Amino acid sequence: MNTDRLMALALEMAGLTDIPGDSEIYHPGHGIKKVMFGIDIKAPELKIAVDMGFDAAISHHPTGGQARLQFFKVLYRHLDQLTAAGAPEEVARAIVDELAEGHKAMAAMSNYDHDPSVARLLDLPYMNIHTPLDEIGRRRLQTAADELPATSTVADLITYFYASFGEFHNALTEIELRVGKPDNTIGKVVISHGAGTNGGYPVAKAYFDHGVDTVIYIHCRPADSKKLIEEFGDSKNLIITGHIVSDSIGINPYIDRLREEGLDVTALSGIIPEDTQ
């Protein structure tokens, strides 16, 4: 196994053809049999990986390089998701352009070579896989949501998520209803995920303004949900499933695939297992 193949497997599972801007092989390698995989794998974990005899380290979140500097590009997946849900392209593009501009500027201020440079010094194959695994998670959550009729309540949907994904039972966080009421009907549901990060108030508002009744984010700043309450009251629904647990829902199928390929994978740094603990 080599790092190119590790990335190709993730792309294949996500139905993607190109490596997204937020994913990268920082230090390539081959002959990989034992892998450390975590949501955040940085310099300290790289040293631990070498000391413990791992052949490669994979982080979910981008840690540097072009994956940090080009992260803003994957935000345009919000454009695709918004327009697919019925938002006009000009509305969606204006929102995403502003989001991307801010992220691009902040990334340029960062020390983008810190963790990759440590991997090179240690000569440890090192990479991150973000959007492909988030897309796997988004599809799994959307499929589950689509299995319920539009007349189901928000409480029904949350209960169904708990029944469908063991990760939610094993997480220390809970699924939250930030906007709306538990007995509201779910209507049209969109999982806004797999687009770099959540779109906050403007993306959720665009969904609500154009026919979506229930938006599901994996995380959202409280100030954004408060603005949505001020504007929409209880007429719309915003559900927060939880950052780390939702990332795990996309990561676990990939880890299973790596193990099927014969790799010894150790999951750490926040990955929540699906099986009962």
- What is the DSSP annotation of 10-73? HHHHHT-SS--TT-EEEE------EEEEESS--HHHHHHHHHTT-SEEEESS--SHHHHHTHHH
Encode pLDDT of 234-275 as tens digits.
999 999 999 999 999 999 999 999 999 999 999 999 999 998
Same fold yes or no, 3-73+107-129+246-263 and 135-243? yes
pLDDT exceeds 70 at position 276? no
Cβ burial 41-50 (10 Å sphere, 16+ → b, else e): bbbebbeebb
pTM: 0.96
How far, in Å, CA of 234 to CA of 210, rounded?
17
Class of 135-243 per CATH? alpha beta
Q: What band does 196 get if pLDDT is binned at 50, 70 and 90? A: very high
Dihedral of alpha carbons 85, 193, 197, 17, sign: negative
How far, in Å, CA of 237 to CA of 145, rounded?
14
In this structure, the dihedral spanned by the alpha carbons of residues 244, 53, 258 and 277, taken in order and rounded to 10 degrees, is -50
pLDDT at 275: 87
Encode pLDDT of 104-155 as tens digits.
999 999 999 999 999 999 999 999 999 999 999 999 999 999 999 999 999 9
Q: Enumerate residues 6+ apart whose C-beta is below 8 A from 218.
A: 193, 198, 240, 241, 242, 243, 246, 247
pLDDT at 190: 98
Fold of 3-73+107-129+246-263: 3.40.1390
- The domain spans of the chain are 3-73+107-129+246-263, 135-243
- Which residues lie across from 176 on neighbouring strands? 240
CA dist list (Å): 180 to 3, 176, 191, 224: 44, 11, 16, 14
Taking residues 202-221, report their average pLDDT. 98
Encode pLDDT of 60-75 as tens digits.
999 999 999 999 999 9
